[in-house]
Structure 1
């Protein structure tokens, strides 16, 4: 049953009141701006406790089935909870690969056993998930993955490596794409998909230090690692099809995520507030005509994307290119976010060269850190160039 407006209004007030009461105090250390920057046990413990608190209050996984730890209510309630979390500026719900990719996939095509085993732990933050798709030697060519999974009785023996494994060093499970049939006529047909345990002999993770000095990513090595045959999702050779479905969630083209904040979101209004007292040659910088023109462009772009998201849910308004908005969502938002943060740093003038830890850094170096971290999102889930190819081929019908 579709919720009534008065129900949603009442729920919004309840969420706002709960967040006002339970919003955690500043922990005294730097918190990640996204799930891709969880670098320390201290950060992890803080964020794990916060996500568990949000879930326990009923504000996470609201549309997932009650039988598996969810709320079993209309997705509109989760949208409101997310909006209020964003408005309140609370910490992220860090287990994003579980909440946003693995969980929706299991909810959609998993067996009852898989749902019972995995979903509740994702919501409660007990079980952290990571993703084993990209490999060091194959860049964005996911179909060329060479990590091997060889059947040996009731187990698979895994050998190979994966790269950019977000929170791989903390994860209990991995969504893993591995090659089970190297002789398949098409490279895509030889891949299989696994819900693989990470705490088994033969799996090693090595953190990767980023430009910001933070971590969050790892490289993962498999050396004769044995995982149960029951970890395979679907049949052998179904891996490519299941991986593509997973990427639909990752790219925001398909609904089903549990909710919560994956990023510290900032808007053009936030940036304007930050720049109001910045002067150049004795005049407020926001009065400069060229800068104002650029700023209006960013305002228009942000508003257009917000309206586009609403439009995508109204079928008669998308008949020309039905999948254009969902398929372009990841490219549009990540590139806009990168440019917004770059603009904010540049508009600070010489102060833009200061970073986190510098006493003279504006807002503690927030925008500088946000800009450098924004590149991660333009790469994960397929680079911006890959996203442009997807739009060209699947929306515009252009040849490969």
Structure 2
């Protein structure tokens, strides 16, 4: 079906009007700044209701197949809907691991039965998903994962520990990387990938309190937990390949996400606004040439990220280093966000040491909280150091 420019303009106006009319009022409690800070039932209920409402209105999963709860439309419609969500500053769609990683993976390589079983629940927010990749003793070295999955009849028995499991205590399903064969010559060949239910005996997700005072991550313990053998995706030993494909979605190098906002929109204009009424040595802070120079550099960087996303979709503009923008996207965006928020705090002087809950904190400690929360994104999906290695090896062709 061809789509005219007028069709897209009309759709944008439709979405904008809906977002304006349906944006929730301030609930009176602290909302998460990203999907990695959902730590209370109150927050969860609020965000679940919001995501369900967006999906029912037709603005989530717009490019996913109709028969599985999606809209069956061109991805351009979802892109426009997401842009309007950002512009109107609506709440996040919190089920990001389902919407952005598990869902696209199932859509891409899953069976028709798996699509029918899982996709609609992801979109509606009925089924929350989490990720079981990282382990306490192995950091970013996923290939050394030691959580075991042993086949017994029509079940797999799982034993081991996963960490940094976002919303593990609320999730119904986990994308799980576990070792089915410890004897392979290459450690990667012994791993398998599961769409594992979380509501079975033997799984205990223990919340982890972060430096912000909030929760959102868990450490997840498996002790003789039995999951159906049909939870296996692909065949035994194919886990590493499937996990790497999943990480491509997580790092922004593959399309297919259902849409929605994963993070509260915090941009350079927000920071400039909070600096307007600040002074240094009796003069407005924004008149200081050094401050202005730093701001201009940050503005340029934020603009380059936005333009880079557009450039990535135009093949002739990326022939020098194909996929360079997609593979570097996570590193560029997360490190920029961290530095921008750090700069905002530094301009507050002594007040920068105050936090949420202190009556004297500027903007209620918003920037301090945002800065601490930014580290989740620089670690999850592969640390910034891992991302730099990916760029060096896969884009620049440097040796390992």
TM-score between the two structures when normalised by the length of structure 1? 0.99
Distance 2:100 2:166 in 1: 13
Aligned to 1:346: 346
Aligned to 2:102: 102
Query: Do the aligned residues in 2 keep the contact of 1:129 with 1:173 (CA within 8 Å)?
Result: yes
Query: Do the aligned residues in 2 keep the contact of 1:2 with 1:74 (CA within 8 Å)?
Result: no
Which has the higher mean CA deviation after the structures are superposed, 294-303 or 171-180? 294-303
Please show how residues 153-172 of structure 1 align to structure 2 within 5 Å. 153-172=153-172
Q: Deviations over 1:96-126 (max 9, x none)?
A: 0000000000000000000000000000000
SS in 2 for 1:221: strand
Aligned to 1:360: 360
Distance 2:2 2:195 in 1: 34
Paired positions, count: 400
Aligned to 1:131: 131
SS in 2 for 1:15: helix
Query: Do the aligned residues in 2 keep the contact of 1:342 with 1:371 (CA within 8 Å)?
Result: yes
Distance 2:93 2:259 in 1: 8
SS in 1 for 2:156: strand
Residue 219 of structure 2 is aligned to residue 219 of structure 1: yes
Q: Deviations over 1:304-323 (max 9, x none)?
A: 11111111111111111001
Aligned to 1:177: 177
Query: Do the aligned residues in 2 keep the contact of 1:275 with 1:286 (CA within 8 Å)?
Result: yes
Change (3 A) 1:72 1:299: same
TM-score between the two structures when normalised by the length of structure 2? 0.99
Distance 1:56 1:86 in 2: 19
Aligned to 1:250: 250
Question: C-alpha root-mean-square deviation of aligned residues, in Å?
Answer: 0.7
Aligned to 1:322: 322
Distance 2:103 2:242 in 1: 13
Distance 1:391 1:190 in 2: 26
Query: Do the aligned residues in 2 keep the contact of 1:203 with 1:220 (CA within 8 Å)?
Result: yes
Distance 2:301 2:314 in 1: 20
SS in 2 for 1:249: helix
> Cα distance, 1:2 vs. partner?
4.2
Distance 1:72 1:200 in 2: 34
Distance 1:280 1:351 in 2: 13
Aligned to 2:38: 38
Residue 53 of structure 2 is aligned to residue 53 of structure 1: yes
Aligned to 1:309: 309
Q: Deviations over 1:4-56 (max 9, x none)?
A: 11111111111111111111111110000000000100000000000000000
Residue 294 of structure 2 is aligned to residue 294 of structure 1: yes
Gapped regions of structure 1 (runs ≥ 5): none
SS in 1 for 2:223: strand
SS in 2 for 1:237: coil
Q: Runs of 4 or more off by more than 4 Å in structure 1? A: none
Aligned to 1:67: 67
SS in 2 for 1:308: helix
Aligned to 1:333: 333
Distance 2:169 2:315 in 1: 43
Distance 2:129 2:213 in 1: 23
